Amino acid sequence: MNTVIYINLFTSVVVFGMGVLFVTGLLIPQVDFKTRLIFGVIFMSYGIYRYINVMAKRKILRQNKEHERIKAAQEELIRKQKITK
């Protein structure tokens, strides 16, 4: 799952960069400014969306790991209490 997060993060940065290149006119300067602006804003918005999505997935992964750690510690505590009784 870690590799997927890195790929999504890379994709979000590349797509956002493409949007910036569209808006500045460095990518396709012969296209009308309004068209470049529209495409640039769409690409940048999609890059931001992917970045937010990646951060949410990372947060969920961390929460799941913490939940598993707490559950394992709870089971260990229950097991130790059963042994002492």
For 8-66, the pLDDT digits (tens) are 999 999 999 999 999 999 988 899 999 999 999 999 999 999 999 999 989 999 999 99
Task: Provide the H-helix boundaries in 1-85.
Answer: 2-24, 33-84
- Per-residue confidence (pLDDT) for residue 5, from 0 to 100: 86
Residue at token pair 């009308």:
32
d(C-alpha 22, C-alpha 43), whole Å: 9
CA-based nearest residue to 43, from 7, 24, 16, 12: 16
Phi, psi of 26 (to 5 degrees): -75, -25
